Structure 1
Amino acid sequence: MTLWRIRATVDDRPGFLSVLTASLALKAVNILAVQVHTTEAGAVDDFLVDAPGSMTEADLRTAVERGRGRDAWIVPAEAEGLADEPTRALGLAARLVRDPDALGDALRALLDADTVTWRPAGPIRPGMRAGSMALPDPTGGRYDVVRTAPGFTPAEYARAQALVEVAAAAAARAADTGTLLLPDGAEITLRPATPDDLAALMAMHERCSPATRRSRYLTGDGVPTPAQLARLLDAGRVQTLVAAGPEATSVVAMANLVVEGSLAELSVIVEDGWQRRGVGTALVRRAFARAERLGSAAVLAHTGAGNPGLERTLRRLGHVVPVRRDGAVASVAVPLQGGQRTPAST
């Protein structure tokens, strides 16, 4: 089986789609799925096809043109494309119900976009152009979505808007609490910490490697005492979020915000086995959102100079800021209110 994606425009007149499909059938091309997008230029037909292994892109293009198709876009496809669009869209909507902060990733998957970039709201209003669209971020700002080819259609813009509405509804109900579904199917609960989490936090720190503890606490790699961790659970002093593992009593990551005046100092620790799986990114995203709600002007973060994790996480969230290194410590200051978030492609 050789799968291809074909998108072509035909005149929006009775019988023209059948002419195109007949031309493909003459070349033994089996159409597995088809979508029709109505545009001002005509009907844009989007096919997933199974073609003989000997057929090339040029052969398929010739068949499309003989079937009165124009502006053809033809690329090899993966088996994942066999899932129909409604099923894929519903799956992404379900993901957003669990984690509304994953809107950028969901838009990229829904639209097969090259890049999805978060920007401050700015002067550009939401809308669609041939190779790009701007969509509002329910929590502020906007997402700029770019796809080199094929150009976006009004139907795709409507789907993206619907996904934004799902994210907005989910975000309104869960500002700090949610479920993160990892690529391997594991579910992580993100929520504010409580004093009852002390034992689980002690156990997590004991499971962490000395290098991970050193990157978080900077002055040593030992396990903090119960009294030290208890101070991080004092909501009057520290805003603490945790990621709870599959077992209700387990904690696999923690983010702390210490707010002093207009500044919020952020620290994060993720258990070694859960690193580079999106857990830290999800916690940092929620910590930034909380700092903004608390009126902080900037977030300060410190980590070990040899640990690129925090810098990589900030880039994924659209914060590209200088990193200051002082011996074994790396520090960043990210402006919030009144500052500008430098966008980065996700």
Structure 2
Amino acid sequence: MLWRVRTTLPDRPGALAVLALNCGEAGVNILGLQIFPGIEAVTDELVLRTPEDWGVAEIAQLIELSGGLSVVSAPCTEAALTDQPTRYVQAARSILAQPASFPEIVAMLFDAEADPAPGSDGPEQDVMDMTVGDVQVQVRRTAPFTATEHARGSAMADLVSDVLERGRDQVMTPTLGRRVGGGSTPEYSVEGDHVSAMIDGTAVGLAVVRPAQGDDPDVRPVTLRVDPAWQRRGIGTRLLTDAARLAHTMGATEIVLTTRADNQAVLPMVLAAGLRGRIRMAADVLTVRVPVRELKPLPR
């Protein structure tokens, strides 16, 4: 069975040799090794092939016997053996080709995990923040992010910001209110808890501010949908902006949108809206949180 394991070893000669010796004696094969240097300690990521009946406890015992601390392990596939520089080059190429895919790509690149269920006793997760324009992108996982990974994530975010800035007219959502297909100009109306986008009397988009859930009455979930035939025309951006203002009118301080991790419309939409959003990636779920307390209220 294959495992991806992270541990911190003391930065002294022979530390890896002790680990390799103990692995060999236990019948564990080290198939991959990535080293993240530190000042007093070194973080090592290993791909191990263990006996089939081994689990997290056996791996932790072996690593700790070898002097390792902060052991985090999880099952993996042979994809974990991909050359790391190659992974980053491929990720950069994908981002250059489609900057809007940045949240999804970095989530896979840094092995983002699902958020623990509220109230669960799961291990605390570490967070990496990356900034694209005014939008903060977060990925989370149990294994702490190293200084090297923070630097790589920041460089990736800078790459996206540069690409978006250079090709803003092509990449970003069109100007709000511009004429779209057929020479029509969308009309937006507010009724109760929702904002509608209408073209020639037909609804092509809808944003609904939902009742607060959980223990925080100041946070309102928002659902937003644009007819596929009318996407990438600025409608979603306008609906997001109006929904945020409407939520403020209704007493909220923050709105939350949840969608698939591969939804590439989200990053350009939030950037084009000029909102200081926070995009959180967790496994296959993308969550957008936007503070609304400083927005101008939207009359109803």
**TM-score computed with the length of structure 1 as normaliser:** 0.52
Q: Select the residue among 318, 323, 341 that pairs with 2:289.
A: 318
- Is this contact kept in 2: 1:255–1:287, CA < 8 A? no
Matches within 5 A, 1:68-147: 68-114=67-113, 131-135=126-130, 137-147=131-141
Aligned residues of 2:237 and 2:269 also touching (Cα < 8 A): no
Question: Equivalents in 2 of 1:256, 1:71: separation in Å?
Answer: 47
Matched, 1:151 2:144: yes
Question: Which secondary structure does the structure 1 equivalent of 2:145 belong to?
Answer: coil
Report % sequence identity.
22
Match of 2:208 in 1: none
Alpha carbons of structure 1 residues 36 and 171: separation in structure 2 relative to 1, 3 Å: same
Structure ranking higher on relative contact order (CA contacts 8 Å, 6+ apart): 2
Structure 2 letter corresponding to 1:132: V
- Conserved in 1, the CA contact under 8 Å of 2:33 and 2:44? yes
How many residues were matched structurally? 227
Query: Residue 33 of structure 1 contacts residue 49 of structure 1 at CA under 8 Å; is this kept in 2?
Result: yes
Q: Could you tell me which residue of structure 1 aligns to residue 34 of structure 2?
A: 35
Match of 1:339 among 292, 295, 299: 295
1:280-328 per-residue CA deviation (whole Å, 9 max, x = no partner) reads x544653554454xxxx9xxxxxxxxxxxxxxxxx844358xxxxxxxx
| Letter paired with 2:62 | A
Distance 2:59 2:128 in 1: 29
Aligned runs of 1:267-306 on 2, under 5 Å?
281-283=263-265, 285-292=267-274
Amino acid of the residue matched to residue 268 of structure 2?
Answer: R
Other-structure match for 2:255: none
CA distance change for structure 1 residues 257 and 133 in 2, over 3 Å: closer, same or farther?
closer
How far has the Cα of 1:70 moved from its partner?
Answer: 2.5
Rounded to whole Å, the distance in 2 between the matches of 1:28 and 1:112 is: 27
Find the aligned partners of 1:72 and 1:278 in 2 and give their Cα distance. Answer: 28
CA shift, 1:258, in A, is 11
Note if contact 1:176-1:286 (Cα within 8 Å) is conserved in structure 2. Answer: no
Deviations 1:28-71 (A, max 9, x none): 22212101112244112110111221333332223222322222
> The residue matched to 1:339 in structure 2 has which SS?
coil
Task: Measure, in 1, the Cα distance between the counterparts of 2:173 and 2:203.
Answer: 26
1:259 shift after superposition = 11
| Per-residue deviation, residues 194-244 of structure 1 (Å, max 9, x unmatched) | 99976xxxxxxxxxxxxxxx997595599xxxxxxxxxxxxxxxxxxxxx9
Q: CA deviation at 1:254?
A: 4.7
In 2, Cα distance between the equivalents of 1:60 and 1:291?
48
Summarize the Cα distance change of 1:143–1:282 in structure 2 as closer, same or farther, 3 Å threshold: closer
For structure 2, the 5+ residue unaligned runs are: 116-124, 183-195, 205-227, 244-258, 276-285
Whether contact under 8 Å (2:236, 2:269) holds in the other structure is no
* Kept in 2: contact 1:8–1:46 (CA 8 A): yes
Amino acid in the other structure paired with 1:165: D
TM-score, normalised on structure 2? 0.59
Aligned counterparts, 1:221-232, within 5 A? none
Secondary structure, aligned partner of 1:143: strand
Distance across 2 between alignment mates of 1:65 and 1:258: 51
Confirm or deny that 1:255 pairs with 2:227.
Answer: no
Highest CA radius of gyration, 1 or 2? 1
Give 1:164's aligned amino acid. A
CA distance in 1, matches of 2:50, 2:237: 60
Q: Which amino acid aligns with 2:126?
A: G
CA distance in 2, matches of 1:259, 1:87: 35
How far is 1:107 from its partner? 2.8
